[in-house]
C-alpha cells in the first residue's frame, strides 16, 4: 500500500479547536462521500493535542519547528492503482471538490504533503492499536529531515538499520505498543499534488510514528535511559532545526482494508 501524508497547519484566524472541528465534522464527511470515486482504502485524521508533552519532547531535542495542527493520511492499494484512478473524470472531479474545501481551513502553502511507504519496527498482532480520544493511548508523530552533510540514501539506511533497532530494544521500557518508520516514496505524483496546493514547504524525509500507552508508562531508570538513547542517536542523522515532534489522537474516517 502507498500512503499520502499531509501535515496540516490551520489558516490564520482559526483557533486549533475551530480548525479541528471543521476538519472532522465538515471535511471528513466530504472525503467519505467521494472515497469510492478516489478508491481510498483508509483515511485517518490525527489531531494534535494541545499538551505540554509537545514542548517537552521538542525542547529535549533542541530548537525544533513548531508542531502541526494535525496530520491527514490516506491509503491506496498501490502507486500504480492510484495513478490509473487519477485519470478518471470522477476522480478528478472529487479531487477538485476536496481541494476547494481544504482551502477554507488549511494554510495550504505551509502544509507539506508527500507519498510514503511504511516499515514496521514494533508491530502488534492484530494491527489495531489506535490512539482513541477516550483512551490512554497517544500517537507520537515525528516528521524529520536529515542532516545536510549526509546523503538521503545514507540517512534512510541509518534510520532503518541503526536507529530502528535501538528503538525496538527499548520498546518495553517506554510502553511502546507500535512503532513504524514511514519513508517518503519520492513519487512522481508528489509534484502534481503539491503544485495544485501551492505548497512552499519542503517535504520531510519521512516520519516516525509510535503509539504509547501513557497510563502504563512510569518514570523509571530504564525509561529514562531509553529516552536518552533515542535522542542521542537521533542527533547522528536528524536535522532537529528542520524537524518536529508532537502527540495526537486519531479519528479513523474510512477503513476498507
Q: What is the pLDDT along the chain (257 residues), one digit of tens a residue?
A: 999 999 999 999 999 999 999 999 999 999 999 999 999 999 999 999 999 999 999 999 999 999 999 999 999 999 999 999 999 999 999 999 999 999 999 999 999 999 999 999 999 888 889 999 999 999 999 999 999 999 999 999 999 999 999 999 999 889 899 999 999 999 999 999 999 999 999 999 999 999 999 887 778 898 899 999 999 999 999 999 999 999 999 999 999 98
| pLDDT for the residue numbered 125 | 81
Calpha distance 250→209 (Å, rounded): 12
Give DSSP secondary structure letters for 153-167: HHHHHHIIIIIHHHH
- The total number of structural domains that make up the chain: 1
Closest CA to 72 of 49, 93, 102, 34: 102
3-state secondary structure of 128: coil
All cell numbers assigned to 14: 482559526
Q: Judge contact between 43 and 254, C-beta under 8 A.
A: yes
Backbone dihedral region for residue 206 (phi beyond 0: left; psi -120 to 50: alpha; all else: beta) = left
Domain hosting 172: range is 2-255
Calpha distance 243→257 (Å, rounded): 31
| pLDDT for the residue numbered 217 | 73
Give the residues across from 210 on adjacent strands: 140, 179
The CATH code of the domain that includes 22 is 3.30.70.100
Calpha distance 64→59 (Å, rounded): 7
Amino acid at each position: 500500500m502507498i500512503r499520502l501524508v499531509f501535515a496540516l497547519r490551520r489558516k490564520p484566524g482559526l483557533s486549533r479547536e475551530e480548525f479541528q472541528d471543521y476538519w472532522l465534522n465538515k471535511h471528513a464527511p466530504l472525503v467519505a462521500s467521494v472515497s469510492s470515486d478516489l478508491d481510498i482504502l483508509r483515511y485517518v485524521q490525527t489531531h494534535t493535542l494541545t499538551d505540554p508533552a509537545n514542548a517537552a519532547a521538542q525542547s529535549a531535542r533542541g530548537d525544533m519547528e513548531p508542531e502541526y495542527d494535525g496530520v491527514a493520511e490516506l491509503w491506496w492499494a498501490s502507486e500504480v492503482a492510484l495513478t490509473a484512478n487519477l485519470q478518471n473524470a470522477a476522480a478528478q472531479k472529487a479531487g477538485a471538490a476536496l481541494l476547494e474545501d481544504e482551502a477554507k481551513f488549511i494554510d495550504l502553502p505551509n502544509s507539506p504533503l508527500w507519498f510514503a511507504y511504511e516499515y514496521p519496527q514494533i508491530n502488534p498482532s492484530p494491527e489495531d492499536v489506535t490512539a482513541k480520544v477516550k483512551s490512554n493511548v497517544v500517537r507520537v508523530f515525528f516528521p524529520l529531515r536529515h542532516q545536510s552533510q549526509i546523503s538521503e540514501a545514507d540517512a534512510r539506511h541509518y534510520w532503518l538499520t541503526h536507529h530502528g533497532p535501538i528503538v525496538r530494544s527499548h520498546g518495553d521500557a517506554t510502553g511502546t505498543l507500535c512503532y513504524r518508520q514511514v519513508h517518503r516514496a519520492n513519487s512522481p505524483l508528489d509534484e502534481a499534488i503539491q503544485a495544485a496546493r501551492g505548497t512552499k514547504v519542503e517535504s520531510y524525509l519521512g516520519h516516525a510514528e509510535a503509539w504509547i500507552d501513557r497510563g502504563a508508562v512510569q518514570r523509571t531508570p530504564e525509561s529514562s535511559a531509553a529516552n536518552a538513547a533515542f535522542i542521542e542517536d537521533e542527533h547522528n542523522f536528524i536535522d532537529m532545526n528542520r524537524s518536529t515532534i508532537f502527540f495526537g489522537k486519531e479519528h479513523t474516517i474510512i477503513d476498507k482494508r
